[in-house]
Homo-oligomer: A and B are copies of this chain.
Amino acid sequence: MNQQYPSALLEKAVGEFAKLPGIGRKTAMRLVLHLLKQDTSAVEAFSNAMTTLKHEVKYCKICHNISDTEVCGICSNPLRDASTVCVVENIRDVMAIENTQQYKGLYHVLGGVISPMDGVGPSDLEIDSLVERVREGGVREVIFALSSTMEGDTTNFYIFRKLSGLDVKLSVIARGISVGDELEYTDEVTLGRSILNRTAFTGTM
| A95 sits at the interface (CB 8 A) | yes
Number of copies: 2
Contact B33–A91 (Cβ < 8 Å): yes
Q: Which residues from chain B contact A57 at a C-beta distance below 8 Å?
A: 7, 9-10, 36
A31: contacting residue among B6, B21, B54, CB under 8 A:
B21
Q: Which residues from chain B contact A16 at a C-beta distance below 8 Å?
A: 45-46, 49-50
A4: contacting residue among B12, B50, B99, CB under 8 A:
B99
Contact A30–B22 (Cβ < 8 Å): yes
Given the contacts A4-B99, A6-B74, A53 and B34 also touching, CB distance less than 8 Å: no
Contact B10–A36 (Cβ < 8 Å): no
Of the candidate stretches A62-70, A154-162, A167-175, A190-198, the one touching chain B is A62-70
On A, residues with C-beta under 8 Å from B are 1, 3-10, 12-13, 15-17, 19-23, 27, 29-36, 40, 43-58, 65-68, 72-74, 90-92, 94-95, 98-99
- CB-defined A-B contacts under 8 Å, sample of 21: A3-B99, A6-B66, A6-B94, A7-B66, A8-B68, A9-B52, A9-B57, A10-B66, A12-B49, A19-B46, A21-B34, A23-B31, A29-B92, A29-B95, A33-B90, A33-B91, A35-B54, A36-B53, A44-B51, A46-B50, A47-B47
Q: A3-B95, A10-B66, A46-B50 are in contact. List 9 more A-B contacts (CB 8 A).
A: A6-B72, A6-B94, A7-B57, A12-B53, A13-B52, A20-B34, A30-B92, A44-B51, A47-B50
